[in-house]
């Protein structure tokens, strides 16, 4: 099982470049950042953790652009994977986003993983012209259209939310297939969507009892005719050896730890201590 780090980026504290460099040096496998373009002041969407319109952290309204953040991280690292937890693709133009992700994969040497979400903040989606009750369809179309641009010499797509005629678009990603993880709650509907349209599941911090969820995902994965096993990345865990061993036995492929909202020096020291608890081998 691999170990990753997620930085809730904002315009204060440690920079993504510094955090990614420290995480790579400490031996972590993946560096994740989130996305929110904006937070409407007046909202009807309850936050998953608070259950109402209040936010648990003011960084929701201060989040850096994820692809700019990961580009700065790419420039100062060589090995660590660059990922989102999670990005909201339907809040961008899909043709532009495909170009951005392909460029990052090209310039980083093939290190991008796209962690995507449907978006809990329906008010935010509405400002981008995406109806909340169509967000699953919209995300599927975005992923299909971007994949076409990444893999086809003359790409085209015709859907409800994305449509373009035969087009040229380079660079292509270095990776033959950019991994896609869906960050969403553990329902049968979500797992069926993952089995049909993604490569794995990114849990939410509230998903602590994973045994039954992992078993259901694997069952649906094989029922949909997928080979192998889905990637399963667990958010919000603690570095408890027994817990981590159990997650590994379930088939969790990566456990992701969130960085504290502290000064840069404190965050770098925290990364080092966590790596020690996990007995990671420092990069050389």
Is the model's pLDDT at 261 over the cut of 70?
yes
Q: Which residues contact 128 (CB under 8 A, 6 or more apart)?
A: 37, 90, 91
Confidence of residue 282 (pLDDT cuts 50, 70, 90): confident
Cα–Cα distance measured from residue 249 to residue 255, given in angstroms and rounded to the nearest whole number: 13
Residue 282 included in any domain: no
Q: How does pLDDT run across 124-150, given as a tens digit for each residue?
A: 999 999 999 999 999 999 999 999 999
User: Is 0.85 topped by the overall pTM?
Assistant: yes
Strand extents, DSSP E, 221-283: 231-235, 254-258
* Cβ proximity of 269 and 22 under 8 Å: no
Tell me the pLDDT of the chain averaged across its residues: 97
Q: Look at residue 283 and tell me if it is in a domain.
A: no
Give tens-digit pLDDT for 158-210: 999 999 999 999 999 999 999 999 999 999 999 999 999 999 999 998 898 89
Question: Confidence band (pLDDT; 50, 70, 90) for 284?
Answer: low
Is residue 281, in this structure, part of any structural domain at all? no
Q: Three-state DSSP class for 182?
A: strand
Q: At what angle do helices 188-197 and 135-151 cross, to 10 degrees?
A: 20
The phi-psi region of residue 169 (left if phi > 0; otherwise alpha if psi is between -120 and 50; otherwise beta) is beta
Residue 284 included in any domain: no
The mean pLDDT value for 236-245 works out to: 95
Confidence (pLDDT) at 208: 85
Residue 78 domain-assigned (yes or no): yes
CATH number at residue 170: 3.20.20.30
The number of domains in the chain is 1
Q: Please state which of the ranges 47-61, 68-82, 174-188 shows the lowest mean pLDDT.
A: 47-61
Residue 53: the pLDDT is 87
d(CA 205, CA 5): 14
More confident residue, 51 or 141: 141
pLDDT greater than 70 at residue 44: yes
- The pLDDT value recorded for residue 49 is 87
Strands 2-6 and 163-167: unpaired
Element (H, E) at 114: strand 112-116
Q: Which domain holds residue 89?
A: 1-276
The closest alpha carbon to 142, from 95, 187, 100, belongs to: 95
Could you tell me what percent of the chain has a pLDDT over 70?
100
């Amino acid at each position: 099982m691999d170990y990753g780090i997620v930085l809730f980026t904002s315009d204060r504290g440690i920079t993504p470049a510094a955090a990614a460099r420290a995480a790579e040096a400490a031996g972590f496998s993946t560096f994740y950042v989130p996305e929110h373009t904006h937070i409407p002041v007046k909202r009807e969407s309850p936050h998953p953790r608070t259950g109402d319109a209040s936010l648990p952290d003011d960084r929701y309204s201060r989040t850096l652009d994820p692809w700019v953040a990961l580009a700065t991280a790419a420039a100062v690292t060589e090995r660590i994977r660059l990922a989102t937890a999670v990005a909201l693709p339907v809040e961008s133009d899909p043709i532009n986003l495909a170009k951005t992700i392909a460029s990052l994969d090209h310039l980083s040497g093939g290190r991008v993983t796209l962690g995507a979400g449907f978006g809990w903040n329906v008010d935010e989606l509405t400002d981008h012209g995406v109806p909340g009750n169509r967000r699953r369809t919209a995300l599927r179309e975005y992923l299909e259209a971007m994949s076409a641009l990444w893999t086809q010499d003359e790409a085209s797509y015709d859907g409800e939310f994305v449509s373009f005629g035969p087009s040229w678009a380079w660079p292509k990603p270095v990776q033959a297939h950019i991994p896609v993880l869906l960050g969403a709650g553990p329902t049968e509907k979500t797992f069926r969507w993952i089995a049909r349209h993604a490569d794995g599941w990114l849990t939410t911090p509230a998903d602590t009892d994973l045994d039954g969820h992992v078993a259901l995902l694997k069952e649906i994965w094989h029922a949909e005719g997928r080979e192998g096993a889905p990637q399963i990345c667990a958010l919000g865990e603690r570095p408890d050896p027994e817990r981590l061993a159990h997650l590994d036995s379930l088939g969790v492929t990566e456990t992701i730890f969130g960085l504290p909202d502290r000064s840069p020096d404190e965050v770098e020291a925290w990364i080092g201590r966590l790596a020690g608890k996990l007995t990671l081998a420092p990069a050389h």
